[in-house]
Structure 1
């Protein structure tokens, strides 16, 4: 696919200016950053069935979203978003062709006790996706974080840990066999210094690096149809960390390990520069015969609590979103682009990065930020639907 031009500053500024005259209060509990006056038109979800990201994308790639729930949401003063917020559910159903579980398929959510699997929330996501003609990305089977205490603090021998992990992968991947487009099998195994997490990851520490290949083999046996991925943050560009993944994957492929994909999460911040070599990085993994993906895209910015982003910040955020979308579209074999949330009030960003916020593409009243239109325009141009009357402003 041809590379796209970045939305110009003037075009974004026009989008910002052509907007409603006053801020609209966010519905429901909680609340994200204040919406600046005159930014975005409020449009009820589902008003125009084709005025969405899914229609704009066409057959180019799967456009996805993480479903809020579990994790930090359990400490907030609002009910579970996925089961209680009907307008939010309508947005998930209409805007996207792929869904990911933000926390509902992680170990601490699925495995409250050694002899217990709780699939209630994970099943609900899979059923919702099927009912709406969407695919699902499974996230995640092996990770150093969000493991239950009975794993991290348990007195297990290496042999017992290996059997626990094997049983988990067979049980979880097997339960959804044929229903998952992709699985993040192994998540974040390299630290910020591009070193394998040999101390912080209990599975690698106790079972050795060889367990990485075993995880892929077990997942493939449990679900032969799913595409199996490595997934990590800060591997957007060509750097020491993405180099480490490249070298590891080359070795695993040479050994016949069923690795099918490499994905960068895409957690970006306006504090830092844009990874200009994103497309080149994805392309080198595609050249190995792998699928690639951007799996957790958000773009956070410095916003004080109760304040609104500036027009300049919104313009730069839209630029980042558009450039990621263009990069994904330019790489043949990049099969999906997933947003890590769609409403600021449910975003993980303020909890994890104090002082930063407003990372998603919608305001809490469901009106659209310039970032939304940047993604939609890039998708529409690539799919040939640019200028379609359904994609109106």
Structure 2
């Protein structure tokens, strides 16, 4: 999709790129998740790959990446005790080759489990063994290479109670404690995160559930370094800058040293028009502004950056265009708004920016 001529003409000309200006504003990174080429099923044409790869690899555009799928259970432990790291290694290798920070995702999640795991008849003891084995092997394989690990992903229902996952049904909240304890022992240098969606608004019952979960781990003396707010947002009803700031302060008040926006996208009800793109840009701006203003917010990760590779259209029919590059590689207005936002905030965050560049 291309923007109309009138809308393009109204946009400022931007020289520079996302990670470069995010760091000038004091963040550690601005990144994008990605998959292996074989999992990019929605490419409009094969020739898009070189363009896509060039953008992704540019260190000034993205200073961090996350494997969208490659480190998840179904890929890393396809059979009991049999491990395969091929998918995750692709993204890890890309990060190493281009000097990007690597966020690793995710050790314990109720979704995308291997078929054998869901067919098993579990007891508390066998579940403990399975969780320990999986984290020991997967986190151990990438030990020292992951700046952050999403240790537990999406453990809450919409009402903030614990999700009735296979892990919770067998072990209760013990599985959360166990996962973080094992991850801390296996890779003590990684920052350990709880990661979830719908926890970006301060008055949300799910946010309250996330606060309760983190407090439970902290009260038990278990290492948890950060909270990841996935931030799968809606253009026409998104949190404000102050919402994001107030929410992050709820988490940092618990003693976590980091917060981050880990899977950012802002979906639009199709078809796209200038008004919807402006609302989307406002949402992206709110995230960027809040992250810069909260010193514990280390960075922002897009859940991919190219619309054809987004999960949104398949999951939410009639919605899409949630990222920063359209199908033909023209950019959303939100891209320029992000650059201008980081530029405008940089002079107010000089000390923080210097620290980010030194890191």
**1: CA distance, partners of 2:333 / 2:235:** 15
Higher helix share: 2
Of 278, 296, 299, which aligns to 1:315?
278
Q: Which residue of 1 aligns with 2:356?
A: none
Provide TM-score, normalisation by structure 1: 0.80
Q: Secondary structure at the match of 1:85?
A: helix
SS at match of 1:336: strand
Q: Is the contact between residue 99 and residue 129 of structure 1 (CA under 8 Å) also seen in structure 2?
A: yes
Is 1:212 aligned to residue 179 of structure 2?
Answer: no
**1:231 and 2:195 matched:** yes
Tell whether 2:22 aligns with 1:57: yes
| 1:106-255 alignment, distance < 5 Å | 106-197=72-163, 199=164, 201-238=165-202, 239-255=204-220
- Equivalent residue for 1:360, pick from 318, 323, 326: 323
Q: Per-residue deviation at 1:246?
A: 1.1
Displacement of 1:364: 2.2
Q: 1:268 aligns with which of 217, 227, 233?
A: 233
How many residues were matched structurally? 337
- 1:261, 1:312 → 2: CA distance? 35
1:176 positional shift: 1.0
Q: 1:100 aligns with which of 38, 58, 66?
A: 66
* Whole-angstrom distance in 2 between the partners of 1:147 and 1:78: 29
2:3 aligned counterpart, secondary structure = coil
Q: Match of 1:334?
A: 297
Could you tell me which runs of 5 or more consecutive residues in structure 2 were left unpaired when the two chains were aligned: 350-359
Aligned mate of 1:301, from 268, 272, 276: 268
Deviation for aligned residue 1:376: 1.5
2:263 and 2:147 map into 1 onto residues whose CA distance is: 16
Confirm or deny: 8 A CA contact 2:42 2:309 kept in the other structure: no
Distance 2:71 2:288 in 1: 26
Q: Are the equivalent residues in 2 in contact too, given 1:67–1:341 (CA < 8 A)?
A: yes
Root-mean-square deviation (CA, aligned residues, Å) is: 2.4
Once the 2 structures are TM-superposed, how far is the Cα of residue 75 of structure 1 from its aligned partner? 5.8
Which residue number in structure 1 is paired with residue 334 of structure 2? Answer: 371
Deviation, 1:243, is 1.1
**1:185, 1:63 → 2: CA distance?**
21
TM-superposed CA distance for 1:380, in Å, is 2.3
Distance 1:321-1:222 versus aligned 2 partners, 3 A rule: same
Q: CA deviation at 1:76?
A: 4.7
- For residues 207 and 36 of structure 1, what CA distance do their matches in structure 2 show? 51
User: Who is 1:282 aligned against?
Assistant: 248
